[in-house]
Structure 1
């Protein structure tokens, strides 16, 4: 039983601790959102003139955009979300107060909504698309229900389905896929090989082949928490979105050259 007191318990001299994995996740997310907010939303919605960004002395072409999208959002950006799901499962297993943990996610979901909508829709509020904190909150809520009603299968199943379809109804980032991934990772939380198999299965959801990189990183988790920075990681999400929005507004008025 002691072997099950920690998620992915595998203490080694080498490997990645939780803090290192979190920094990898937020760097991946930052690249993803920069490409999305500046190039995809900015250029495609004509918020930024095509003449305002040059790369290597050339204006951004359709072919160049395809490469930026592939390397920035697919190869690098897809690493972040599975790692965030991993942190939700880990937090669920080790937090002293699960309800406070859920409340914290819920509060930051609302704090992040305006910055998220500014980047994704260029408006203060867009009811058609909600930020990833709502997805993570619903995933955590599903895990709480799974354990709390372990001996009441009807309530357990109904509650989990409610969380899954709430993500679809609210149109949260990663919607149903996000909540299901958190649940799957919870059920394989003590087996690294099975977790890799879950990673391989993500290719059937939106064709996210490159999310597999995140599961390889999880395999390298050494069971150590690392240094704190707890609220830094929470605050990074809304703050970096606001900075991307302001950067986009700056580029819309001031041409820039990259490289």
Structure 2
């Protein structure tokens, strides 16, 4: 694909995020307007979104000046997003639509896995036992934290207000893979991180995951279309939008949810 100047089209990190945001808004419009008969095919636009943001998270984690600050920023966003979604549903009370959105949880879990990869990559530099142990612990952490949630998620019958409040608090602060919006698909993040210097391997990993979803009959196979913008990524950051997505993501969901509730 060439531009008018004759050069092949190249996309920056900023461009990838804008593409992801546009597709995400269409997907969330479908989610909140299902009670109005929003067509199912609108949901298809959202299938590549997570993959695009997974890729940008890999890029961001690879180039950030402070990986700890990067992780902390995502963790805080995860908790705030969970609280906002819970409060929005309680205040507006639109039972026709349930808000389970929290891509920040997926991205934060992804950074835990990437931190584990970093530990394994440090093994040749010495202190192998320490790095292997820490790497295994970090990789298992999102799965171990899922076990903490099982008793709460499987509780039957009516529950007290205190128990409900405790459960919501744990849901908000717990980076368990069981709670991830995209489930085990989050494992694509460390895979792409391992191949962060081999673009074709990243694209193949996306195709493999898409094929698995297709085999099981899920429309998530459409994630494979994410390889088009990712293949065109030129490695440049582009325009700065460090905090825009952190604000826009919850804001547009709350707006669409409130609008749909009001119209309903």
Query: TM-score, normalization: structure 1?
Result: 0.73
Please give the residue correspondences for 1:85-234 in structure 2 after superposition, counting only pairs within 5 Å: 85-117=54-86, 129=100, 131-149=102-120, 150-151=122-123, 152-164=131-143, 166=145, 170-178=178-186, 180-203=187-210, 204-205=212-213, 207=218, 208-234=220-246
RMSD of the alignment, in Å?
2.7
- Whether the 8 Å CA contact 1:21–1:217 is kept in 2: the answer is yes
Flag structure 2 segments of 5+ consecutive residues without an equivalent. 1-6, 124-130, 146-174
CA distance in 2, matches of 1:214, 1:86: 9
Flag structure 1 segments of 5+ consecutive residues without an equivalent. 1-11, 44-52, 54-59, 253-259
Q: Determine helix, strand or coil for the equivalent of 1:213.
A: helix
Q: In the TM superposition, what is the alpha-carbon distance from 1:154 to its structure 2 partner?
A: 3.5
CA distance in 1, matches of 2:239, 2:72: 23
CA distance in 2, matches of 1:119, 1:183: 32
Q: Determine helix, strand or coil for the equivalent of 1:230.
A: coil
- Whether the 8 Å CA contact 1:129–1:171 is kept in 2: the answer is no
Moved over 6 A (4+): 118-122
CA distance in 2, matches of 1:165, 1:138: 12
Q: In the TM superposition, what is the alpha-carbon distance from 1:102 to its structure 2 partner?
A: 0.7
Q: Which has the higher contact order (CA 8 A, sep 6+)?
A: 1
Query: TM-score, normalization: structure 2?
Result: 0.72
Summarize deviations over 1:56-86 as a string: whole Å, max 9, x none: xxxx4xxxx5xx22x2112x11121001111
In the other structure, the counterpart of 1:82 is 51
Please give the residue correspondences for 1:68-79 in structure 2 after superposition, counting only pairs within 5 Å: 68-69=39-40, 71-74=41-44, 76-79=45-48
